[in-house]
A and B are shown apart, each in its own frame.
Chain A
Amino acid sequence: QVTLRESGPALVKPTQTLTLTCSFSGFALSTTGMCVSWIRQPPGKALEWLARIDWDDDKYYSTSLKTRLTISKDTSKNLVVLTMTNMDPVDTATYYCARGQSPTEPFDIWGQGTKVTVST
């Protein structure tokens, strides 16, 4: 059974750096084609793709957020980590990680999401 689970702080202050962890099981990120992406959703709004890391350690970022994002993986621990710098209240959202079985395939399995609020 494939599962993903996000974890991280529920509350961060403006200007701080957010670090989120995606712990997964049931698949290997070392498998050719496999990818993990991060997606976020502000309250009541649409989904926004943020970043992707591939089986071969290639990394891709949202054009609008690329200067603030870093994605990395620890294949041996089945973890994918996303950091987002200089957090702002507009970054308040539920953050999801999701699996893709190739770069052009859909996100077939999603984590439950972790809610992050940016506030003083």
Chain B
Amino acid sequence: DIQMTQSPSSLSASVGDRVTITCRASQSIVHYLNWYQQIPGKAPKLLIYTASNLQSGVPSRFSASGSGTDFTLTISSLQPEDFATYFCQQSYSLYTFGQGTKLEIK
């Protein structure tokens, strides 16, 4: 099974900050990497698919890149509604999620 390692596990930041979350796969997953945002008590919401494609309706302050084993999610200017937990997911060989990054207000 493919393992996904996400870092950091938690992150404190302020409104307006730029933040980056990384995700590493245990083997190449080409570009089959997706990012989700989860607000407490809610289902995950798809943000980014196939490494760098913004899902419809997602603000352009979200961006992502990477290929092979290393991927990043960047939020260019944090807004209050962005404080949530973010998960990466590989869909190259069935599915595996990262352990999540909890983004908290500093």
Contacts and interface: CB of A to CB of B under 8 A. Distances in A.
Interface stretch (A12-20, A44-52, A72-80): A44-52
Nearest to A107: B46
Interface string B37-53: 00000111110011000
A50 B49 CA distance: 20
Contacts of A113: 43
A63 B89 contact: no
Interface residues of A, number: 23
A63 B2 CA distance: 11
B99 A46 contact: yes
Nearest to A61: B94
Given A46-B87, A46-B99, A104-B32, A52 B43 contact: no
A49 B1 contact: no
B27 interface: no
A37 B100 contact: no
A47 B91 CA distance: 14
Interface of B: 1, 32, 34, 36, 42-46, 49-50, 55, 87, 89, 91-92, 94-100
Closest 4 A/B residue pairs (Cβ): A106-B34, A110-B43, A49-B95, A47-B97
13 contacts: A46-B97, A48-B97, A49-B95, A62-B94, A100-B91, A106-B50, A106-B89, A106-B91, A107-B46, A110-B43, A110-B45, A112-B42, A112-B43
Interface of A: 37, 39, 46-49, 52, 60, 62-63, 96, 98, 100, 103-108, 110-113
